């Protein structure tokens, strides 16, 4: 138990961060069929918002809580811009949205590299996250606990939004039958836009969490985008429940693999794990009938 | 005219071969010969991507994996050959002078083994991955993301194994290429000619494949996979063959890249490099024979001529190329050409019926 506990707790926190990164993807990919490769750069934008907030509000105790909604707005607006500028013309070509957003991601990365120092910027964790939580004798950093709580709040909020609000119903109706939804008076255009805004905004929130754990630099988006996509693929598209379980499994598995071998080998093994898993369940953990995806 | 049409691509390849093999070496300076050789390596990869993606509908976002397999196989052989028999490469001695050479390096002392490995390694890896994915009908975006994940994983693995693969600094300082001194200009021209010739051969192979029953099946699988299955074919096998062939081409491109450029690093095989390989194909036109080749040559040229004077500008241009081409010209620049060309036969047809 003593040997199992640290990777389990670390892995759970890693998984929570992956889940935050994957949640918005799961929404835009699963509900709308858009493969947004710039999602990682939206995450990066959230991390930079955390840094910028800190330059204005010097006390990190306050700046981080303020940064979370600001990062949501900032990344969400970037997403809205992307949707209006490019994505809205390509809803019938899912694979091409992948390539177009690769271009967007290249440009955003380069822009970040030129605006911020190349070596990255530091984000101070608030004082109230400095301590540790004692779990069966293991000192669990509070930052990791915070990441898990943040992920839990985001999942609960998103699930409630989709399930109980009238807008959530409109999203689900649009996903299930776009033409019929339009016939009953739902503006699928605005549904698409708001969904994309929220999905991108979640990447911003993930960015704040990531800035507290790892570095904040122009390359950080690439670091999260692939594991996040693996989580979405393994979890089953558009399935919050699947994403939660898949993120946790991938996070914990990577922590255990990293304990047994090295961090880079853990990545290879995690990839192999997802491919093997797809042999058993090619459609992911959970499936739902949606608009045909590529 | 109509009898000539099926042979037009072949005539095109012939003209292209003359340009690459005869005109270019006599006109260009040594510096540009070497650069063109490098672009040819990317173009070889692009021909394979054209087959898998353009013809087969499989977007391989991680072609750097196979490029890397060929490149590192070649680089390990060249490193060992430069170090001499029974010796240990310098970078390994620096890292740990006492440890022996890693076991997987040993066979690469043999020239024959290296040449076989350049083809066999991608066949093995692509077969395993392709079999696992196509059998479970993993396709489209999922396939693209999984191949990219593999490229990321491989590049990270190479980066972190410093003593085994040279890590981030990669492998370089090659002195000989199968007995030829690499510094010698005549040998550099020879290397260029080999790369250009391989490119021509790959184009011929894909041209022939596209004409064959297999090419028809691949196209059918791309457009209506279920119908192909109902006709009694297994789409998984058809895709697997195309995927493996494209992997082998990428590997050969990587193997030629090493002696021509003189260095291979994880950056050349990771996600960003893989995306660069896709960029050329998308720009030129994924589904045509010449599109990927010309696109890859253009991207290679753009990268070395723009990025040397204005590095950030090149990155922005690359990003914009993706956005503009995919948004407005999803079939690439070659579709402009064929649209114009589409007008010509119509006029000749009218003349033909009149006569």
Q: In the structure encoding, which two tokens stand for residue B287, read together?
A: 């589904």
At A281 the three-state DSSP class reads coil
Residue B2: the pLDDT is 61
Under 8 Å between Cβ of B195 and B256: yes
Give the pLDDT of residue A129. Answer: 85
Rounded CA separation B22/B35 (Å): 16
Counting residues of chain B whose pLDDT is more than 90, the rounded percentage is 63
Kindly list the residues of chain B whose beta carbon comes within 8 Å of any beta carbon in chain A.
59, 61, 129, 132-133, 135-142, 144-146, 148-150, 152-154, 156-157, 159-161, 271-272, 275, 278, 282, 312, 315-316, 318-323, 326-327, 330
**pTM for the structure as a whole:** 0.90
Cα separation, A175 vs B261, in Å, equals 50
What pLDDT shows up at residue B75? 95
Nearest to A99 among B142, B272, B322 (CB): B322
Residue identified by tokens 């297999």 is B214
ipTM of the complex: 0.86
- Residue pair B46/B203 in contact (Cβ under 8 Å)? The answer is no
Residue A286 pLDDT grade (very low, low, confident, very high; cuts 50, 70, 90): low
Which of B138, B153, B327 minimises the CB distance to A271? B153
| Residue B4 Ramachandran class (φ > 0 left, ψ -120 to 50 alpha, else beta) | alpha
B285 pLDDT above the threshold of 70? yes
Give the per-residue pLDDT at B136.
84
Q: Which residues of B touch A103 (CB under 8 A)?
A: 318-323, 326
What is the model's pLDDT at position A260?
Answer: 84
Q: What would the two tokens of residue A159 be?
A: 């699930």
A44 has pLDDT over 90: yes
Q: Where are the beta strands (DSSP E) in B24-124?
A: none
Q: Report d(CA B119, CA B199) in Å as an integer.
A: 15
CA neighbor of B92 nearest in space, from B190, B163, B176: B163
Chain position carrying tokens 């696992």: B132
pLDDT digits (tens, 9 = 90+) for A181-228: 889 989 988 999 999 999 999 999 999 999 998 889 998 998 899 889
A176 and A51 in contact (C-beta within 8 Å)? no
Residue contacts between A and B (CB atoms, under 8 Å): 121
Q: How far apart are CA B296 and CA B46, in angstroms?
A: 6
Kindly give, in sequence order, each residue whose CB lies less than 8 Å from that of residue A264, ignoring residues fewer than 6 positions away.
Answer: B153, B156, B157, B159, B160, B161
pLDDT at A116 over 80: yes
- Rounded distance, CA B67 to CA B81, Å? 21
Contacts of B346 (CB under 8 A, 6+ apart): none
Average pLDDT over residues B158-167: 88
Q: Is the dihedral of CA B134, B63, B334, B15 positive or negative?
A: negative
Both tokens assigned to B261: 């450029």
Which residues of B138-214 form beta strands (DSSP E)? 171-172, 176-177, 180-181
Mean confidence (pLDDT) of chain B: 89
When CB atoms are compared, the residue of B150, B282, B312 closest to A110 is: B312
Judged by average pLDDT, the poorest of A19-33, A53-67, B29-43, B337-351 is B337-351
Full 3-state SS string of A274-288: HHHHHHHCCCCCCCC
- pLDDT number for residue B54: 93
Give A110's contacts in chain B (Cβ within 8 Å).
312, 315-316, 319
Confidence check: pLDDT of B350 > 70: no
Task: Say yes or no to pLDDT of A292 above 60.
Answer: no
Q: How many residues does chain A have?
A: 294
> A89 CB near a chain B CB, below 8 Å?
yes
Contacts of B154 in chain A (CB under 8 A): 268
* pLDDT, position B345: 54
Taking the C-alpha atoms of residue A277 and residue A281, their distance in angstroms, rounded to an integer, is 6
Indicate whether B26 pLDDT > 50: yes
Residue B330 has its nearest CB partner, among A96, A271, A278, at A96
Nearest chain A Cα to B149, which residue?
Answer: A226
Residue A1 has a pLDDT of 57
Closest CA to A237 of B145, B223, B153, B58: B145
pLDDT of residue A293: 44
The 10s digit of each residue's pLDDT in A160-178 is 999 999 999 998 888 888 8
Q: Tell me the chain B residues in contact with residue A95 when contact means C-beta distances shorter than 8 Å.
A: 59, 140-141, 144
Rg (CA), chain A: 19
d(CA A7, CA A260): 10
Q: Which of B39-48, B57-66, B161-170, B267-276 has the lowest mean pLDDT?
A: B161-170
Nearest to A172 by CA among A155, A159, A154: A159
pLDDT tens-digit series, residues B203-249: 999 999 999 999 999 999 999 999 999 999 999 999 999 999 999 99
Residue B13 above 50 pLDDT?
yes
- In 10 A of CB A287, how many CB atoms? 14
Over residues A61-96, the pLDDT tens digits come to 889 999 999 999 999 999 999 999 999 888 778 888
| Residue A118 forms contact with B (CB below 8 Å) | no
The average pLDDT across B183-199 equals 93
Q: Which residue of B has its CA nearest to A272?
A: B150
Distance CA(A269)–CA(A260), nearest Å, equals 11
For the stretch B232-244, pLDDT in tens is 999 999 999 999 9
b/e map B212-225, b = 16+ CB within 10 Å: eebbebbbbbbeeb
Say yes or no for a CB contact (<8 Å) between A109 and B129: no
Q: According to the per-residue pLDDT averaged within each range, which of A120-129, B153-162, B171-180, B193-202 is highest?
A: B193-202
Residue in B61, B138, B278 nearest the CB of A278: B138
B-chain residues near A282 (CB < 8 A)? 136-138
Q: Does the distance separating the beta carbons of A35 and B141 come in below 8 Å? A: yes
Q: Which residue has the higher pLDDT, A71 or B145?
A: A71
Question: What is the average pLDDT across A266-281?
Answer: 81
Q: What is the pLDDT of residue B355?
A: 35
Q: Least CA distance to B157: which residue of chain A? A: A264
The helix/strand/coil state of A141 is strand
Q: Do B154 and A268 touch (CB under 8 A)?
A: yes
CB contact under 8 A, A90 and B327: yes
- Token pair for A207: 């960015």
Which residues are B180's β-sheet partners? B177
Mean residue pLDDT across chain A = 88
A41 has a pLDDT exceeding 80:
yes
pLDDT of residue B282 exceeding 80, the answer is yes
Is residue A84 less than 8 Å (CB to CB) from chain B? Answer: no
Burial of B135 per CB tally in 10 Å (0-12, 13-18, 19+): middle
CA B30 to chain centre: 23
- Give the separation between CA B243 and CA B51, rounded to whole angstroms: 8
Q: Which two tokens stand for residue A138?
A: 């293991």
**Are B66 and B257 in contact, with CB atoms under 8 Å apart?**
no
Quick one: CA torsion of A110, A111, A117, A119, rounded to 10 degrees?
Answer: -30
Compute the average pLDDT of residues B168-172: 90
Q: Give the pLDDT confidence score for residue B140 in this predicted structure.
A: 82
B78-94 pLDDT tens trace: 999 888 777 888 888 88
* Distance, CA of B46 to CA of B44 (rounded, Å): 5
> Hey, are the CB atoms on A264 and B271 less than 8 Å from each other?
no
Q: Decide: helix, strand or coil at residue B110.
A: coil
Residue B348: per-residue pLDDT: 47
For B53, which DSSP code?
Answer: I
């Amino acid at each position: 138990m003593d040997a199992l506990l640290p990777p389990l707790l670390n892995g759970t926190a890693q998984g929570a961060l992956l889940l935050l990164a994957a949640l918005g993807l799961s929404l835009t990919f699963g509900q709308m069929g858009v493969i947004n490769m710039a999602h990682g750069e939206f995450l990066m934008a959230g991390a930079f918002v955390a840094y910028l907030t800190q330059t204005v509000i010097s006390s990190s105790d306050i700046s981080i809580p303020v940064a979370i909604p600001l990062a949501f707005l900032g990344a969400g607006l970037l997403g809205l811009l992307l949707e209006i500028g490019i994505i809205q013309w390509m809803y019938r070509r899912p694979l091409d949205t992948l390539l177009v957003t690769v271009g967007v991601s290249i440009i955003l990365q380069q822009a970040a590299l030129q605006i911020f120092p190349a070596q990255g910027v530091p984000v101070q964790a608030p004082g109230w996250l400095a301590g540790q939580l004692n779990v069966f004798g293991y000192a669990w950093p509070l930052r990791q606990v915070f990441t898990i709580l943040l992920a839990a709040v985001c999942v609960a909020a998103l699930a409630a939004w989709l399930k109980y609000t009238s807008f959530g119903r409109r999203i689900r109706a649009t996903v299930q039958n776009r033409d019929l939804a339009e016939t009953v008076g739902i503006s699928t255009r605005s549904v698409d836009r708001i969904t994309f805004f929220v999905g991108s905004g979640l990447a911003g929130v993930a960015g704040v969490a990531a800035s507290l754990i790892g570095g904040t630099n122009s390359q950080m988006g690439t670091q999260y985008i692939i594991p996040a996509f693996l989580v979405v693929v393994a979890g089953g598209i558009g399935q919050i429940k699947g994403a939660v379980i898949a993120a946790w499994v991938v996070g914990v598995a990577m922590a255990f693999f990293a304990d047994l071998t090295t961090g880079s080998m853990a990545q290879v093994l995690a990839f192999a794990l997802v491919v093997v898993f797809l042999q058993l369940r090619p459609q992911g953990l959970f499936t739902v009938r949606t608009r045909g995806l590529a | 005219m109509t009898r000539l049409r099926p042979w037009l691509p072949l005539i095109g390849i012939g003209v292209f071969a003359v340009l690459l093999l005869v005109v270019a070496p006599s006109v260009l300076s040594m510096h540009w010969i070497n650069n063109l050789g490098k672009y040819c390596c990317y173009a070889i990869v692009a021909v394979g991507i054209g087959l898998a993606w353009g013809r087969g509908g499989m977007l391989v976002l991680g072609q750097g994996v196979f490029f890397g397999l060929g490149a590192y196989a070649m680089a390990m052989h060249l490193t060992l050959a430069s170090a001499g028999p029974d010796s240990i490469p310098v970078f390994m001695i620096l890292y740990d002078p006492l440890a022996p050479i890693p076991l997987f390096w040993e066979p690469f002392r043999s020239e024959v083994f290296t040449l076989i490995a350049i083809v066999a390694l991608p066949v093995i890896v692509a077969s395993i991955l392709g079999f696992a994915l196509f059998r479970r009908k993993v396709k489209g975006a999922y396939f693209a993301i999984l191949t990219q994940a593999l490229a990321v994983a491989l590049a990270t693995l190479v980066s972190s194994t410093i003593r085994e693969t040279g890590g981030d600094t990669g492998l370089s300082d090659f002195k000989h290429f199968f007995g030829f001194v690499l510094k010698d200009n005549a040998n550099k021209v020879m290397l260029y000619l080999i790369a250009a010739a391989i490119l021509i051969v790959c184009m011929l192979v894909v041209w022939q494949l596209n004409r064959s029953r297999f090419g028809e099946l691949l196209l059918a699988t791309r457009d209506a996979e279920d119908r192909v299955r109902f006709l009694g074919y297994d789409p998984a096998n058809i895709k697997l063959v195309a995927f493996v062939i494209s992997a082998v081409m990428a590997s050969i491109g990587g193997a030629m890249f090493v002696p021509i450029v003189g260095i291979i690093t994880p950056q050349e095989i990771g996600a960003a490099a893989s995306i660069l390989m896709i960029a050329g194909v998308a720009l030129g036109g994924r589904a045509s024979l010449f599109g990927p080749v010309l696109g890859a040559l253009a991207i290679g040229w753009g990268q070395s001529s723009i990025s040397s004077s204005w590095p950030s500008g090149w990155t922005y241009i690359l990003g914009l190329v993706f956005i503009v081409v995919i948004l407005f010209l999803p079939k690439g620049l070659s579709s402009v050409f064929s649209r114009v060309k589409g007008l010509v036969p119509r006029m000749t047809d009218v003349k033909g019926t009149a006569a």
